[in-house]
Amino acid sequence: MPRIVVKFLKMEKRIHLCEYETNELAEDLNGLFNRVVEVPRIKVGKKQTVETLINEEALLFAKYLRDERKTWIPRIAISINN
């Protein structure tokens, strides 16, 4: 699992990262998006990367918004318990 550490400076709204921290954050995010998930692809296959899943879901949602599809049901859901 990628480890992301962000340091906040007092009284500022922006996060300031040094070059090393920026590179580490970019590498960790890239690693996260390249993980394989077991959600069937639209066309062929039973696994895909998180990046591909996001792109396919965006495509399906856009088709729904343009009335090219009658319904849009996300293939994954995250439940948040309060």
pLDDT (tens digit per residue) in 2-57: 555 555 555 556 778 889 888 998 998 888 888 888 888 888 888 888 888 889 99
CB count in 10 Å sphere of residue 17: 15
Residue-wise pLDDT for 50-65, tens only, equals: 888 889 999 999 999 9
Helix intervals (H) in the chain: 19-33, 50-65
